[in-house]
């Protein structure tokens, strides 16, 4: 039996952990906090909020842009780290997260359009501009649920990969795998306009699980994963 090694690069682990935490911070700000301060139930108020909070809005755009760039980096790093554990699953994780990043890019464009509409001179009626601004905000909100579908698939694959390796604690893999259904269920429910209390409570509970698991995984990669040494595994002998 030949000895082969699952190469666990401590530098890659440290980078992935730092990127996870950076994405959590920037994404929480740009996706969670900023829209709550700007988007209102009526178009005129949303437009006024944007113009009154330009600095906050621009910081949100900056944070969104950073998330996309960080996502590109972490997608490549995670594929490098796990491709020897399960090549097909690693490819699924790569493609699904890349799909998520693509939707995020379109979503960022939708988020920027209201500022362009409100600060560019046009012959449109003010009410029409406000209506378009609100439309872009609402489309942006729905876009979040679209990229959640891709991210849910990514987490299913990543969770399975973690369960296939003896390097990362399996509890984290289970948390990511089970919690992934929170993104999938919420995304499908919101995109199909289903509002059932039992479904809402279910995906909220799952999202709590996956959020804790993601942050824990990022911390583990940053602190413990960077100290993990490669472990030899058995491979089948190569025929002469």
pLDDT of residue 201: 96
Whole-Å CA distances, 171 to 58, 77, 222: 38, 21, 17
Report the phi/psi class of residue 239: left, alpha or beta, with left for phi > 0 and alpha for psi in -120 to 50: beta
Please, what's the b/e burial string for 180-218 (b: 16 or more CB within 10 A of its CB; e: otherwise)? Answer: bbbbbbbbbbbeeeeeeeeeeebbeebbebbeebbebbb
Neighbours of 73 (CB within 10 A): 15
Q: Would you kindly state where each structural domain of the chain is located, as residue ranges?
A: 2-224
Instruction: Give the 3-state secondary structure of residue 240.
Output: coil
pLDDT of residue 11: 85
Instruction: Give the 3-state secondary structure of residue 195.
Output: coil
Q: At what angle do helices 87-119 and 126-164 cross, to 10 degrees?
A: 160
Dihedrals phi, psi of 233, to nearest 5 degrees = -125, 155
pLDDT of residue 7: 55
pLDDT along the chain (240 residues), means of 10: 51 92 95 95 94 95 97 96 93 97 97 94 86 96 97 97 91 96 97 95 96 94 71 43
Tell me if 147 sits within 8 A of 107, measured CB to CB: yes
pLDDT of residue 238: 41
Question: Which stretch of DSSP H or E encloses residue 23?
Answer: helix 10-27
pLDDT of residue 158: 97
């Amino acid at each position: 039996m030949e000895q082969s090694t699952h190469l666990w690069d401590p530098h890659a682990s440290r980078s992935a952990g730092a990127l996870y935490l950076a994405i959590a911070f920037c994404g929480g700000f740009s996706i969670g906090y900023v829209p709550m301060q700007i988007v209102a139930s009526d178009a005129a108020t949303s437009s006024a909020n944007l113009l009154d909070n330009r600095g906050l809005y621009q910081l949100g755009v900056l944070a969104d842009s950073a998330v996309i760039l960080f996502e590109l980096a972490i997608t490549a790093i995670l594929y490098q780290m796990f491709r020897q554990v399960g090549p097909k699953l690693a490819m699924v994780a790569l493609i699904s997260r890349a799909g998520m990043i693509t939707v995020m890019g379109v979503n960022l464009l939708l988020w920027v359009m209201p500022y362009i509409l409100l600060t560019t001179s046009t012959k449109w009626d003010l009410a029409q501009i406000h209506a378009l601004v609100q439309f872009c905000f609402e489309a942006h909100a729905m876009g979040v649920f679209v990229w959640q579908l891709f991210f849910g698939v990514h987490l299913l694959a990543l969770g399975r990969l973690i369960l296939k390796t003896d390097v990362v604690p399996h509890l984290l893999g289970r948390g990511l795998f089970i919690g992934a259904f929170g993104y999938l269920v919420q995304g499908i429910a919101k995109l199909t306009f289903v509002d059932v209390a039992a479904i809402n409570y279910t995906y909220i509970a799952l999202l709590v699980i996956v959020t804790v698991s993601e942050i824990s995984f990022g911390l583990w990669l940053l602190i413990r994963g960077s100290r993990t040494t490669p472990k030899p595994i058995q491979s089948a002998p190569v025929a002469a």
